[in-house]
Chain A
């Protein structure tokens, strides 16, 4: 089955700086890669996703890049703000997510004022 590794487990950045979270996956058949944000005590919510026919996708301050050859994808957050503090999960699936996403273990992003 799919295995998703996520790094780092904790990331502390100064407000206004950029943050990068990286994930690798094992199954070359995977073709859907979403990122979820979970604030403390809340449910995970989708913030951005990318499919394998696209190398990069951007939505305002967040972007995701995908390298299928190397089997890794990354989340980039620019101009970080206090509300970006949360746990971020990457995930991968070979059926658009419908047969179940395999999640990474999460990155706790801390924005220092």
Chain B
């Protein structure tokens, strides 16, 4: 049982480039989310989804897009990368809308030059 899988683990981009961070879970969880982690800032919610076809914005959604076409996958797209998006990104899932434990992926470290 792989849990939550994120790819890539490391990525370097130039300003203005676009890319997609992939996230997949094999636990049949309804709820998935993306957080970014910056030094001294904790974890901040970017976008979340409570089921296939349903997404919503979190605290810091600007510059990011998401979609949820299947229960398993929740990709995060950076439309035009900026240095301010240099961060560690975590995908997380939980069983259902009533929450409980969030299961995190291993993280993706993104550097924008």
Contacts and interface: CB of A to CB of B under 8 A. Distances in A.
Interface stretch (A13-21, A42-50, A53-61, A68-76): A42-50
A43 B100 contact: no
A44 B42 contact: no
B79 interface: no
Interface residues of A, number: 27
A95 B105 CA distance: 22
A93 B99 contact: yes
If over half of A's interface residues share one DSSP class (helix, strand or loop), that class is named, otherwise mixed; here it is loop
Contacts, number: 68
Interface in B58-113: 58-59, 90, 94, 96-102, 104-107
B99 A97 contact: yes
A96 interface: yes
A81 interface: no
Given A32-B99, A96-B97, A97-B99, A102 B104 contact: no
